[in-house]
Amino acid sequence: MNGPVRSRTPRPQSPGGTDRKLLGVYLNDHLAGATAGSRRVGHLARVSRGTALGRALDGVAAEIAEDRAALLKIMRDLDVPVRPCKVWAGWAAEKAGRLKGNGRLVRRSPLSTVLELEALRLAVAGKAAGWTTLRRLAPADERLDPVLLDTLLDRAEHQRDTVEEWRVHEAETALRTTTPPIT
């Protein structure tokens, strides 16, 4: 037999014609990512408090928390139940991500900020992909608000730009040597 075996049983569909089970998995996976991303940016904003980076990330952190709340509302509107085990997994993954070694044992390495900004940039891109998917489903499902999804997409683009600007700055600062190389 070639290819995957397909069930002959039709999958349950939502009013918008989407597969309810797969939509639930998809949105809960995004909720796990939103949980991890919200916690990560909050942590980075706290450890950067009192700096220009900290001030920039305070706004991003507030928006990311609002985005997570928007996702929960969308899930309620679509009658998609929250899977607590996935939320917990996002929380645990973010905590575990802090355990990596960055060349320092006692104090924070400048690489920690660079790597956290890179992870945050990836998280924002993933979130934008989720909003894009929902936006494409919106014309067939009146429970999805296209104006809200467009707003969330625009905000994700702004977050991406802010995080990328700071990622480049922090990477150059952390990795640049103070003495010129010997030629």
What's the confidence (pLDDT) of residue 59? Answer: 95
Residue 32 lies in a domain: yes
- How far CA 36 is from CA of 49, 107, 119, 123, in Å, comes to 20, 23, 10, 9
pLDDT of 11: 47
Question: Do the domain assignments include residue 4?
Answer: no
pLDDT recorded at residue 65 = 95
Output the pLDDT for position 106. 56
In a domain, 58, yes or no: yes
3-class secondary-structure state, position 132: helix
- Residue 86 lies inside a defined structural domain of this protein: yes
CATH number, domain with residue 118: 1.20.1260
Q: What integer pLDDT is reported at residue 10 of this predicted model?
A: 46
Task: Print the domain residue range for 80.
Answer: 20-99+108-175
The reported pTM is: 0.80
Please indicate, yes or no, if residue 140 is contained in any of the structural domains: yes
Over the chain (183 residues), what is each successive 10-residue block's mean pLDDT?
51 65 93 91 93 95 96 96 72 60 62 91 96 96 96 97 96 80 62
> Which class for 12: exposed (0-12), middle (13-18), buried (19 or more C-beta within 10 A)?
exposed
pLDDT of 108 reads 73
In the prediction, which pLDDT does 56 show?
95
13 belongs to a structural domain: no
Q: Distance between CA atoms of 29 and 26, rounded to whole angstroms?
A: 5
Residues in the chain: 183
Residue 38 located in a structural domain: yes
Listing DSSP states for 13-72 in one string gives B-TTS-BHHHHHHHHHHHHHHHHHHHHHHHHHHHHTTTSHHHHHHHHHHHHHHHHHHHHH
Residue 66 burial (CB count, 10 A):
13
Work out how many domains the chain is built from and give that number: 1
Asked whether residue 51 is assigned to any structural domain, the reply reads yes
